[in-house]
Amino acid sequence: MLTEQSAYTNRWRRVSPFAKGCFSLCGMIASFAAGSPRTALLVALIMTTTTTVGAGIPPLRYLRVASPALLFLAASGVSLFISLDFGSSTGGISIHPALGELPHIAMVCCRSLASLTSLLFLALTTPLPDIISLLRRCKFPDTLLDLMFLCYRTLFVLSEAVHETIIAQSSRLGYATVTLSLRSLGGLIANLTIQVWQRSQALHLAAMARNSDGALKFLENSYPHSAKSISIAATAGVLTITMAVMLP
């Protein structure tokens, strides 16, 4: 996953996740506080520049990660732009562009873009285990955090199993037709369901063998100059929000 690669190799990998989470949250608040599409675009520009120039994420990789979401945003914008009229003179349904709604649609799309860049800042600079540690500090329920840890640690194992099964099935023409594809996919998911059960049993046995008393506990990373990073991030975030509120 491109996001994971960036999260582990970026320049700000050793910066406190609390600082990065704080700046990302401020970016989202600024997106919603922006009073015009221009201001929201400015917030998006700040967040993108911070991610690419500050954290050193290559712009092309950034674009590759953002492109599915950007396409989805474009489709959502188009669906807002279309208006239906059920009471047309011909008695049918007429479709026409909602020209009067353009400023509102522009605002929604630009806000969404700004918010997306804030999310991408966090996703591309902070590995998921660090985000889970951050949530643990924010007193999220232990059961939910355990689910997250287990999910994160097994999803790559399951992805590999899926990849290998698909290779095996494809080499036997398992995906040659639509009917065969459906049957192969059904077999793959059924096999995976059983693997889920078997792997969870093995994990449980391994945990019991190590005197597990229930909750999963992990050592947390320590980050140098954490207080300094947090104060810089908070200041930058507050400045971004202030700019979004002040600009027309």
Partner 1 sequence: MHIMEGFLPIRHAIGWSAVSAPFVAYGLYTINKRVKEYPEQRMLLGVAAAFTFVLSALKMPSVTGSCSHPTGTGLGAIMFGPAAMAPIGMVVLLFQAILLAHGGLTTLGANIFSMAIVGPFAAAAIYRTAQAVRLPFGVAIFLAASLANLLTYVTTSAQLAFAFPDPSGGFAVSFAKFAGVFAITQIPLAISEGLLTVVVMNALVRFNARELQEMKVTVVQEVQA
59 residue type, one letter: P
192 binds partner 1 per the rule CB under 8 A: yes
HSE-up of 22 (CA within 13 Å, CB side)?
Answer: 18
Q: Within positions 210 to 239, which residues make up the interface with partner 1, using CB under 8 A?
A: 214
201 binds partner 1 per the rule CB under 8 A: yes
Q: Which stretch binds partner 1 (CB under 8 A): 52-60, 119-127, 222-230, 234-242?
A: 119-127
CA–CA separation, 111 vs 230, rounded Å? 25
152 residue type, one letter: Y
174 residue type, one letter: G
Choose which of 58, 85, 170, 218 interacts with partner 1 (CB under 8 A): 85
207 binds partner 1 per the rule CB under 8 A: yes
176 binds partner 1 per the rule CB under 8 A: no
CA–CA separation, 91 vs 8, rounded Å? 59
Alpha carbon distance, N-terminus to C-terminus of the chain: 39
199 binds partner 1 per the rule CB under 8 A: yes
Closest CB to partner 1 among 181 and 231? Answer: 181
Q: Within positions 1 to 30, which residues make up the interface with partner 1, using CB under 8 A?
A: 1, 3-4, 28
Rg for the chain, CA atoms, rounded: 23
Choose which of 36, 69, 238, 247 interacts with partner 1 (CB under 8 A): 69
155 binds partner 1 per the rule CB under 8 A: yes
Choose which of 88, 94, 170, 181 interacts with partner 1 (CB under 8 A): 181
Closest CB to partner 1 among 70 and 231? Answer: 70
194 binds partner 1 per the rule CB under 8 A: yes
Lookup: tokens for 26: 């401020």
Task: Answer for the pair 132, 149: CB distance below 8 angstroms, yes or no.
Answer: yes
13 residue type, one letter: R
